[in-house]
Amino acid sequence: MSLAPAELRHFERLLRKQRAERSAELRMLTIALEDVREARGESTADDEHDPDGPTLSVEWSRISGLHRELAAKSRALDRAFERIADGSYGVCLSCGADIGRDRLEARPATEHCIDCARRLEGRRGR
């Protein structure tokens, strides 16, 4: 990949900003999960007769789903920092092609070029 040092620094800044945002969101979600856990603990163990039981379960699945998603994004950002460090940043993990500046600008943590990303998403059945 022919990213100049100045460009690498630019993407590193983008990644740092995103990771700071993800960390802040993760902290908020962790607090939200604890709130739901507490609310569930306070309600009676008998969910069937507790009007709040099912609502809290739905809320729990929703927030823990978001939490998982964010954690995965944070891990992707961490891997991007590793690739900057070892010089492989900006190269597609599948085919070895340059990912391209425009795509990196939009998704600095991406690991695949647009062609491979489409192929991989297609395989997942989207």
Asked if 116 interacts with Zn ion (CB under 5 A), we say: yes
User: Which window, 3-11, 34-42, 56-64, 92-100, contacts Zn ion (CB under 5 A)?
Assistant: 92-100
Q: What is the distance between the alpha carbons of residues 38 and 24, in angstroms, rounded to a whole number?
A: 21
5-42 and 52-86 are packed helices; what angle lies between their axes, rounded to 10 degrees? Answer: 160
Residue 96 C-beta: closest distance to Zn ion, Å: 7
Residue with Cβ nearer Zn ion (53 or 100): 100
Q: Which of 9, 17, 94, 119 forms a contact with Zn ion (CB under 5 A)? A: 94
Asked if 113 interacts with Zn ion (CB under 5 A), we say: yes
Q: Which of 92, 104, 109, 111 forms a contact with Zn ion (CB under 5 A)? A: 92
Residue 17: which residues within 8 A CB-CB, separation 6 or more? none
Cα separation of the two ends of the chain? 30
